[in-house]
Structure 1
Amino acid sequence: MNPSITLATAWRVLRQLRNDPRTIAMLVVVPSALMILLRYIYDGSPRTFDRIGLSLLGVFPFVAMFLVTSVAMLRERTSGTLERLFTTRLAKLDLLIGYALAFAAATVVQVGVVSLISFGWLGLSAPAGVGWVLVLAMASALLGMAMGLLVSAFARTEFQAVQFLPAVVLPQFLLCGLLTPRAQMVDLLRWLSNVLPMSYAVEGLGRVGQGTVDAVLIRDVLVVVACIVAALALGAATLRRRTS
């Protein structure tokens, strides 16, 4: 890994994001708009908004990052950019770490804006501290980024990349415990929930909402981080020096 090449890759990706207003809107505007919509859906029930809103602070960034990253990497693969880059000194690790750094910077902006709106304007509360919310929301967004990089290898068109959204994201949304407690699910669904990473992000945010900072919360953060690393490692294995 060459740090200068890695940073150059990150800067290239950031320039591409900066010059794409639609992507900026997807990453920053859409999650914030959805939180505002949710606040007024539960206008007469602030406790419900606090409970669901905290969890969705992990879900919305995950979905946005998954979609944007999978399409962005697919463009690199199908346009021949990735193949040309690999004729230089760029290594797989340089590319992946560069992407991770670029989208980590985008994640800071994304989570910062939606959290500022949620806690400053919409009145969302986090008894265990806003810091834990930011950690889990950013980890969830980076998880979406890592999984987006991974699934882009299995799509040939942008439409196919978008099709992975219901296949990969919706099962996690349904089984993460947001709609019904995981402990009340039948055994098979509870087992599936236990192996899906979004479950741990939502569980961690739920504990923050309860004002509980304990070993379970720390475990949830570590599980999400481990899943990010695993997804990036699997993504590296799918990077080929020639486009099929």
Structure 2
Amino acid sequence: MSLTGGSVSVRHPAQHRGRSRLSPQAYLATTGRILRQLLADHRSVAMILVVPSLIITLMYFMFQNAPHRPGAPSPFNNACLIMLGVFPLIVMFLITSITMQRERVSGTLERILTTPLRRLDLLAAYGTAFSIAAAAQATLACVVSYWFLGLYTEGSPVLVFLIAIINAVLGVGLGLLCSAFARTEFQAVQFMPVVIAPQLLLCGIIVPRDLLPDWLQWISNVLPASYALEALQEVGAYPEPTFVAVRDIAVVVGFAVLALCLAAATLRRRTP
């Protein structure tokens, strides 16, 4: 745009927004807003924090009189380890997919995406907020399991705690990704039997993976829950981190990052 005595360069607002970078203030403000919304939803808070510990406590009494060989781990130990890995994945998938769909339908997501906040940065804020919620869930569940219910693992409880958080982040990534293909909150919930149920069936909880038919073993080998459960079993059986446990944790982290990136690529401003 030319003026008398010189010229002034004017950039299109959309171009300016596309080149802008996320400021720490915007990222923290978005994360704080999501956490405040989550805290205001008392049912979601109860589902995240209280329900897993209550179900683990119920399982403790279920297995209290179950026979087991002398010197062998109690059946509760194995079941509790499985639950500590499964609950974060299931709960955070449900909470995240429903919350993101609610943001889209209400128009909040559309308003946010008109700001300099980029899509990947927005999902990073969601991942951070729900990871904090997952850390609170894992802390309470591990404290109840180890201190009150007598859970014992050869490996460090810190590794169990770490795997639980990683599983929760994986649930967040899968929830954000699936919410992009849903038009209602009910449709978001319907993705659970499609995305989560096959992982629970094929990860070795019901039938050991090496006893599955070859074609099901191939499918199991590309599902992140299989590696999460195997890592927990390694921590439960060995006092020091094994190569298999470290490898499995790295694989689950890779799946979580990939899910978040795919969610960012498929994020739409609102449901058509």
Per the normalisation by structure 1, the TM-score is 0.97
Task: Return the alpha-carbon distance in structure 2 between the equivalents of residues 26 and 145 of structure 1.
Answer: 15
Show the counterpart of 2:4.
none
Is 1:186–2:186 an aligned residue pair? no
Deviation per CA, 1:47-78: give whole Å up to 9, x if none: 11101211210101110000000000001111
Show the counterpart of 1:26.
47
Q: Residue type of the partner of 1:221?
A: I
Show the counterpart of 1:123.
150
Which of the numbers 27, 34, 38 marks the counterpart of 1:6? 27
Task: Return the alpha-carbon distance in structure 2 between the equivalents of residues 37 and 150 of structure 1.
Answer: 32
What is the DSSP-based 3-state SS (H/G/I as helix, E as strand, rest coil) of the residue aligned with 2:268?
coil
Task: Return the alpha-carbon distance in structure 2 between the equivalents of residues 144 and 12 of structure 1.
Answer: 20
Alignment of 1:112-191 (within 5 A): 112-191=139-218
Task: Return the alpha-carbon distance in structure 1 between the equivalents of residues 23 and 118 of structure 2.
Answer: 8
Deviation per CA, 1:160-205: give whole Å up to 9, x if none: 1111111111111010111121011100111111000011110000
Task: Return the alpha-carbon distance in structure 2 between the equivalents of residues 204 and 242 of structure 1.
Answer: 38
By how many angstroms is 1:2 displaced? 2.6
Alignment of 1:62-141 (within 5 A): 62-141=89-168
Task: Return the alpha-carbon distance in structure 2 between the equivalents of residues 110 and 122 of structure 1.
Answer: 16
- Coordinate RMSD, CA, aligned: 1.2
Moved >4 Å (runs of 4+):
none
Task: Return the alpha-carbon distance in structure 2 between the equivalents of residues 93 and 171 of structure 1.
Answer: 28
- Aligned-residue sequence identity (percent) comes to 50
Task: Return the alpha-carbon distance in structure 2 between the equivalents of residues 141 and 36 of structure 1.
Answer: 20
Cα distance 1:2–1:214, how it changes in 2: closer, same or farther (>3 A)?
same
Aligned residues: 244
Task: Return the alpha-carbon distance in structure 2 between the equivalents of residues 94 and 6 of structure 1.
Answer: 7
Which of the numbers 250, 255, 258 marks the counterpart of 1:227? 255
Per the normalisation by structure 2, the TM-score is 0.87
By how many angstroms is 1:243 displaced? 4.2
Question: Would you say the 8 A contact 1:104–1:142 is kept in 2?
Answer: yes
Task: Return the alpha-carbon distance in structure 2 between the equivalents of residues 139 and 44 of structure 1.
Answer: 33
Task: State which structure, 1 or 2, has the greater radius of gyration over its C-alpha atoms.
Answer: 2
Question: Would you say the 8 A contact 2:130–2:169 is kept in 1?
Answer: yes
Question: Would you say the 8 A contact 2:203–2:220 is kept in 1?
Answer: yes
Task: Return the alpha-carbon distance in structure 2 between the equivalents of residues 156 and 239 of structure 1.
Answer: 13
> Counting helix residues as a fraction of each chain, which structure ranks higher?
1
